[in-house]
Amino acid sequence: MNKRLLICALGFIVFLNLACSGTPSPVQKSQNTNMVVATTSDVTVGDNRIGFSLFDFEGESIVVDQVLVEAIFYPPNENEGVIKDTSTAYWMSIPGVAGKGLYVTDIFFDVSGAGTQENPNYWEIVGSFVYEDESTWSKAAIVVNEYSSITSIGERVPKSVTLTADNEADLKFISTDPDPDVDLYRLSIDEAVTNGKPSVIVFATPALCVSQVCGPIVDMVSTVKNRYTDRVDFIHVEVFANPNDLVEQGRFSGQQVDAVSEWGLVTEPWLFVVDAEGRLADKFEIFVTSEEVIEAIESVVN
């Protein structure tokens, strides 16, 4: 596993300041010590669900109710950006993890931009908020791709063959979840997406996720599952191929299951909702609430 995939496996993608990306910023704003850490890597032209965290100069998480987010576009060689979209991001707490969460909002990008010689268009997101009774802001460059490397909404998902188990004794060989729900491992992806029922598929490594998001997401899926008995299939795919070695012996080989590459994933956790015809209905990167998952499921159940 290369360094980027290792970082991604921990659950974070940092949208670097343009000064760190090798391309000078078209506009030099006043110095600000806040930092944006985004959890969304799959950003494309169109509507995007963007998640991010805010940290102060000491590395402490900044938690406020909401953040005003502006998506600013800089054409090549232009020193002045244009606000293309404005939205409000709201803080969402991660269930079961005290004091942890992130901001989530929807942003529309009308063109691609990477701030490189090959694609000189440059996008920046600026978050404005009130913290400790003072108005402040933080910004980050963001790469917007023309197309997603992951299956797009409406497309058929990969029919990956994933490991299954029907008893708790075998689960330690295919999952790092310390308290696994055997129902999430009864079907392989290829079976679920071809049997005429909708499915919910979550890629995560509960015991090895430094961000502490993976375990709560898998637990949430297990809870939501109980609302849709016999109507929807639910699957957890462990990201790593040798979970027993990783958890019990402390070894790290970096080997991932084939489904990770087949689905084009470079971060985790990911949650996908697939309709009865095997087409992608919705997808969520890093963090999603049970309400969002239920809404996505309701759009595909009969």
* Residue 205, domain CATH: 3.40.30.10
Q: How far is CA 22 from CA 16, 17, 182, in A?
A: 10, 10, 48
Q: How is residue 118 written in tokens? A: 């090959």
**If you compute the radius of gyration of the chain from its CA atoms, what whole number of angstroms results?**
20
What pTM was estimated for this model as a whole?
0.84
Element (H, E) at 124: strand 122-131
Q: How far apart are the first and last CA of the chain?
A: 41
Q: Is residue 160 part of a domain?
A: no
113/218 same-domain check:
no
Burial-class residue 112 by CB neighbours within 10 Å (0-12, 13-18, 19+). middle
Q: Is residue 65 part of a domain?
A: yes
125/17 same-domain check:
yes
293/254 same-domain check:
yes
- In the predicted structure, residue 9 carries a pLDDT above the cut 50: no
CA distance 48 to 50: 6
Residue 9's nearest CA partner among 292, 246, 289, 274 is 246
Q: What residues make up the domain containing 27?
A: 3-142
- In the predicted structure, residue 130 carries a pLDDT above the cut 90: yes
Least confident window among 82-91, 237-246, 262-271, 277-286: 237-246
224/185 same-domain check:
yes
Q: Per-residue pLDDT averaged across 93-115, rounded? A: 87
Residue 255 pLDDT class (50, 70, 90 cuts) = confident
Residue 98: per-residue pLDDT = 67
Residue 213 pLDDT class (50, 70, 90 cuts) = confident
Q: Per-residue pLDDT averaged across 36-55, rounded? A: 90
Tell which wins on pLDDT, 282 or 30: 282
- Report whether 219 contacts 288 (CB < 8 A): no
- In the predicted structure, residue 181 carries a pLDDT above the cut 60: yes
